[in-house]
Amino acid sequence: MRRLTWLLPVLCVAAGGELFAGSIDVDHLRKPWRREVVREFEVGRDPVRWRQRVSRKEGVLAGVRFEAPLAREAVWTRSTDYSDVGRLTPGVEAVRILEDTPGRRVIQVDVKILWKRLRLIFEVEQDPPREIRFRWDGAGLGQFRGLCVLEDVPPGRTAVELSTSFKPARPVPLSLLLVVERIAILQAVREFLRACEQGRTSTARHRDSAARVLSSLTP
């Protein structure tokens, strides 16, 4: 079953990682972005709202919003389960949970890109079932922050909004980085929505089966 592995495609541009204490600061992702560019896409049959901003000072800011066809608790479960990231993400060789406490995780991901192996370590803060915050800091490479917010959308659907920022520590072609990030995130959205639809169909099928069994037992 595919999960919402937003962070991995973006972090694969760098190796290493530095952990530090303190809450993950994502206030800049909550605020409106000045001069952002907004585009509407269709991912499969689903509308997706994409927004972006590129600046030398702030780096690359990218965000996506869409609706998942499941209730928020189900979406939260899928969004926070990293157990099969290695099987479903190209190049990922191993995933290890280094720390798993209420509200916080530290996750190590070993990735092979072409001939090079990278070790990525990132932190995740969770406020279930509404908010997930990400942090990754690579020494001399840059800073990555992510914010994912889930909101109820009746009937039985969930609005998912992901906002990310990546600020390189050294000059890089930001426009190219943005293209790579957009492709990776939209592909992750596609796979996640596909998994949600499969889960919704499976749940409906089981419900119908249970209803038929109960009906057959009723005099």
- Per residue in 4-56, pLDDT tens? 444 444 444 444 555 555 789 999 999 999 999 999 999 989 999 999 999 98
* Reported confidence tier of residue 216, pLDDT bands at 50, 70, 90: low
> Tokens 């998942």 correspond to what residue?
68
Using CB atoms within 10 A of its CB, is residue 212 exposed (0-12), middle (13-18) or buried (19+)? exposed
Whether pLDDT at 181 is above 70: yes
> What's the rounded Cα separation, in Å, for the pair 158 and 68?
5
pLDDT (0 to 100) of residue 7: 44
Whether pLDDT at 87 is above 80: no
* 7-217: CATH superfamily: START domain (3.30.530.20)
pTM for the whole thing? Answer: 0.82
